[in-house]
Amino acid sequence: MDEHCCELMTSQIVRHCDDHEDPFDCPDALVRFDAGSREYGLIIHDGGTSTIGIAFCPWCGNRLPASQRDH
């Protein structure tokens, strides 16, 4: 089970919208967590599947355990 920095982040990661199966289609979806690369991204709602990688949580300000690109 993945642990995130705070409840708000966790609720965003695990949230599921009944109206939009794909989070990229849901205007309420804010962040996406890639379990493979363990990277967090802000979803850009431009009709595609773009995200902006974030290194800090927008809610609690904690550094996110993402950018471990040395592996």
Per CB under 5 A, residues contacting Zn ion are: 5-6, 9, 17, 19-20, 26, 57, 59-60
On whether the CB atoms of residues 57 and 37 are closer than 8 A, the answer is no
Sheet containing 39-44: order of strands = 31-34, 39-44, 50-53
Asked if 70 and 61 count as a contact pair (C-beta separation under 8 A), the reply is no
Closer CB to Zn ion, residue 50 or residue 60? Answer: 60
CB of 60 to Zn ion, least distance (A): 3
Query: Cβ closer to Zn ion: 46 or 70?
Result: 46
Q: State the nearest-atom distance from the C-beta of 19 to Zn ion, in Å.
A: 4
